[in-house]
């Protein structure tokens, strides 16, 4: 797996966060790790088909997800991951992946994305560990979101 595959998602995530919640995220260190669903997290899973196939997984600690959703709602404090919160966080993943698909297309790589699936740790029944390129996106005052790319 080439490390360049994660760059369109990183660029897109930075742009979406800057436009949506007026935060300029920084990045942590790129690495390869086993994807593990951690307790108290929200997971946005988006499939990719075309010249690149696999999954993009955004992992966000639930408290951070609530801060992001609150910022998306204009500062209205959101305290639980209800249907509205899940819809908003799902749309965040959709926007990041859709913009990344456009960036890839502009580079001559044709991909399609699937609708996002939002999962919370307590609702996960089984998951087989797989390796992914992973990079944390760090947002001052909010927290971090892991971008994990599993592309073949």
Please tell me the CATH code under which domain 3-23+36-151 is placed: 3.40.1550.10
Query: Residue ranges of the domains in the chain?
Result: 3-23+36-151
Mean pLDDT value across residues 78-84: 92
Mean pLDDT of the 29-56 span: 87
Largest CA distance in the chain: 42
Give per-residue pLDDT as tens, 113-148. Answer: 999 999 876 655 545 557 888 889 999 989 999 998
Judge whether residue 41 has pLDDT over 80: yes
As a whole number of angstroms, the distance between CA 150 and CA 51 comes to 14
């Amino acid at each position: 797996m080439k490390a360049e595959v994660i760059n369109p998602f990183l660029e897109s995530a930075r742009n979406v966060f800057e436009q949506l919640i007026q935060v300029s995220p920084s990045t942590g260190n790129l690495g390869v790790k086993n994807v593990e669903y951690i307790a108290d997290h929200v997971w946005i899973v988006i499939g990719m088909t075309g010249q690149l196939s696999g999954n993009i997984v955004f992992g966000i600690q639930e408290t951070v997800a609530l801060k992001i959703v609150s910022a998306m709602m204009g500062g209205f404090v959101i305290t639980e991951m209800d249907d509205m919160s899940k819809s908003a966080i799902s749309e965040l993943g959709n926007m990041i992946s859709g913009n990344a698909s456009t960036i890839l297309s502009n580079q001559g790589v044709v991909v399609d994305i699937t609708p996002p699936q939002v999962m919370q740790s307590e609702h996960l029944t089984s998951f087989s560990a797989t390796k992914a390129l992973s990079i944390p996106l760090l947002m001052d005052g909010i927290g971090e979101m892991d971008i994990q790319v599993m592309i073949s």
